Amino acid sequence: MLALVRDPDGSVTAVGGTGKSPIAMTEASGDGANSITVPGLADAWETIARRWGAMPLSQCLAPAIRIARAGMVATPALVRAVAAQRHRLLAGGAQDWIVLNARERATIVQPALARLLERIGTEGAQAFYRGEAARAVETAIARLGGTLTREDLATHETLVSAPVTSALGEWTLHVQPAPTQGILLAMALRARQPFGALSADRTDHIGIELAEAAFAHRSDCANGQDLLARALAIDPDRASRRGGPRAYLHTAGVCTSDASGLTLSSLVSVFDDFGSGVFVPDLGITLNNRAGGFTNGANAAAPGKRPVHTLAPMMLGGPEGAIAMATPGADGQVQTLLQVVGRIIHGEETLDAAIAAPRWRSEGGRILIERDHPAIADLAARGHDLEPLAPGEMRFGAVVAAGHAQGGPFAVSDWRRECWSGVA
């Protein structure tokens, strides 16, 4: 879990709930028992609740516990995902998991998960990182040849620090510090500033070129703030076709704000569908495959190291107040936010209009683009290799946003995918 929290006084704090690779790691893979880093979610929950929460952690987790115990409905999307990943889940020890054989609209009851959440709520995060839960995680991983142990879990800590902050005219952007891809968003938006207001036929071309130029620095994200000094060289008229962003996705975002102005942007993910596929029967959970985020150079795999993280929550401060934004989409996160923020800052569009507008995504060397995008003809003429897709296709992200302005708190959500917003 990664989050940015803005206090009512305007100060912003980054909460880094990511985990390290095992100290005894000898190899890192993108799947299975050697793809797992220490899960950071439980301690991030406790860190945020302790410092900013108005309710005890047990009360915060009560709705999730209730759903796990009483049951949730198996949606068609969940059943399809299970079918597609069945072989991985069986390999990961999930043969007796109720989710594995659930039919559409069936009720899924998860008592082991309910017990785990109850213990975390009453005993704190250490109920996960030590004792019975830690032994269960170690056993599940060791059975499949992985090296993460109870010692790795027991020494985990959430990183709480200042964010990377960039001035963008009247606006201020806050993103997560190293080692996350949020810095790539800051690089691209800073490089966008000198172009100022652009005609509609150039806006998206410049955005694509800046996104791909920023992703050339992905493996250097551990350098954090220092990357902002690097120039992004692009051709303002023609497509470079340098590519760079990858094709995976799967994330959930939550943004919220209260009457005092306390505002949060957060993202949580186990990376791929069901993460590593490794199932912990005593806890009712699958474990992440975040070690699949290691690449090369400064981001090469090593024991006790955090890989560059795709999660990129952001906070935007401006003349009217604060906006927290997050979106799923792995490498698409930076690209989606680049387009939305660019429309707000340079196109002077409202937040809801910027989120609703047609989008593109650079992926695997091609430019995916919603078929109703008005710049399709111009981008093709500039040499971009386009793949038009149905509007709302999941790879174009699903932005959630919340914030605080003079009129009080507000929330906005994307029409794409399953997103909800409301004001209580």
Rounded CA-CA distance 125/116 in Å is: 10
pLDDT(247) > 80: no
pLDDT in tens, 275-292: 999 999 999 999 999 999
Q: At what angle do helices 182-192 and 332-345 cross, to 10 degrees?
A: 30
Edge to edge, what strands does the sheet with 386-389 contain? 360-363, 366-370, 386-389
Q: At what angle do helices 182-192 and 200-215 cross, to 10 degrees?
A: 140
Rounded CA-CA distance 335/312 in Å is: 10
| Domain locations along the chain | 1-27+158-424
Q: Report pTM.
A: 0.94
pLDDT(327) > 70: yes
Q: Does domain 1-27+158-424 have CATH number 3.60.20.40?
A: yes
Mean pLDDT of 391-402: 94
Q: Give just the sign of the alpha carbon dihedral 305, 308, 310, 312.
A: positive
Rounded CA-CA distance 228/188 in Å is: 9
Q: What is the pLDDT of residue 348?
A: 86
